[in-house]
Amino acid sequence: MEPMTHEAIIKEISALADKAAALFEEIGAGSYDGVGTTRAAFGPKETMAGEVLERFARSEGLDVSVDHVGNFHYDLTIDADAKTVVMASHLDSVPVGGNFDGLAGVVAGVLVQAACKRAGIRPATNLKTLGFRCEESPWFGTAYIGSKLALGLLDQGELDGLKRFDTGKSLGTHLHELGAVSNADEIRERRLRVEDLSAYLELHIEQGPLLDDMQLPVGVASAIRGNIRHPFASCKGRYGHAAASPRHLRSDAMTAVARLITAADAFWAELLEEGGNDDLIINFGIVTTDPEQHAMTKVPGDVRFSFNIGGTRNEVMESLYKRIRAEAEAIEREFRVGFDFGTRVGTEGIQLDSKLAEIARNAASQIGVKTHVFPTVGHDAAMFAKLGLPTGMLLVRNQNGSHNPDEAMEISDFITATKVLALWALSSTRQ
């Protein structure tokens, strides 16, 4: 990249820092739920976020459209027949979440495009920012719905069968109410075609503590973790009087689940000690007895729980999963209970493009920013990488974790990451 182009884009992004803060503030205020941020999938707050960015984008001379499934497209078109570098992330949030998860990537992409317009920079190819709807899995029990819709990857059974947890309405119904297409054949026919794209770049807050601990503002993702999940598992035992039920005659569902959790944790620790599995995780995020039946003096007869394995090494995840399921069978016999894991869902771990990662690191070094390379959690980027499009991700330091109201990304870190994204995107248009 020519030095003058480099300096001009960096200068314009610095000048947009206050505007970036104002955009986050406006969207955050509009989606405040009294505790945190809630932008429900295909809901008015999600639409509001896209429209706030639309007003800004149009004021900067960008083209804006909403596609057939409700995703927002912000375009800096150089040649309608040329390929396109996509910068993207999502507009929704988890219920009672934080303001920056997903939104940061869409704001960053639009800022890069605006900075190009202000600086009079003509990229070598088109630059598109995509604001996807419904990336978060709590809404319909599965992730990446907006990007899957854009790419035509959902069938009619999923459109009709997936229900939003709070409304009970199907995905197809929510699309119809939005004025979007709800027929799978038409969605597939009008899909975004990866052969028209040259790269997919996603900026996202880091959703863990690593960058903060390392005192680094920006990281580069090497891979996207896959997962094996049972969102609605249960263990059935038999209710009984606690004081009148000796241990050898109990069917204690809670003790059985507790035994499974501690066994799974021990298996996890063994794999970590073996080495090469540092990105492996296990999580039992929901464990609950029935509030209508549980009591201090009752042996628990019914426990509901969730079960999640995550990592980048698919064979390791599968091996651990089989070991945990075998342990559950042994626990059934010992504790006289029955496990029902329900439907298994999940995605495979995906390696991101190493060449794009190197370009990202070089872009950061051009402005004196040190980076760290490590795997990240699930993002829309996974859908594009899975289809063979060169895909990369930048991660921005974020305090207090994610999926909670205390997300605390510093605007200074965001602007630093957006500068890296700009240099990365402009370099990628020349590849």
Q: What is the DSSP letter of 194?
A: G
Which helix (H) or strand (E) covers residue 371, if one does?
Answer: strand 371-376
Task: Say how far apart CA 369 and CA 282 lie, in whole Å.
Answer: 33
Which region holds residue 243: left if phi is over 0, alpha if psi is between -120 and 50, else beta? alpha
Task: Say how far apart CA 37 and CA 95 lie, in whole Å.
Answer: 7
Task: Say how far apart CA 125 and CA 145 lie, in whole Å.
Answer: 28
Of 24, 4, 13, the C-alpha closest to 117 is 13
Contact 216, 203 (CB under 8 A): no
Q: Which residues pair with 197 in a beta bridge?
A: 84
Structural tokens at position 72: 């927002």
Structural tokens at position 50: 């896209």
Whether residue 241 is annotated as binding a ligand: the answer is no
Which helix (H) or strand (E) covers residue 22, if one does?
Answer: helix 17-30
Structural tokens at position 251: 């069917």
Structural tokens at position 10: 């960096």
Neighbours of 356 (CB within 10 A): 22
Whether residue 75 is annotated as binding a ligand: the answer is no
Whether residue 81 is annotated as binding a ligand: the answer is no
Which region holds residue 129: left if phi is over 0, alpha if psi is between -120 and 50, else beta? beta
Whether residue 90 is annotated as binding a ligand: the answer is yes
Cβ density class 314-346: b for 16+ within 10 Å, e for less:
eebbeebbeebeebbeebbeebbbebebeeebb
Task: Say how far apart CA 391 and CA 413 lie, in whole Å.
Answer: 22
391-396 and 218-224 as β-strands: parallel, antiparallel, unpaired?
antiparallel
Residues in the chain: 431
Of 259, 279, 126, 113, the C-alpha closest to 196 is 126
Task: Say how far apart CA 149 and CA 14 lie, in whole Å.
Answer: 35
Whether residue 204 is annotated as binding a ligand: the answer is yes
Annotated binding site for Zn(2+): 90, 101, 136, 204, 403
Annotated binding site: 90, 101, 136, 204, 403
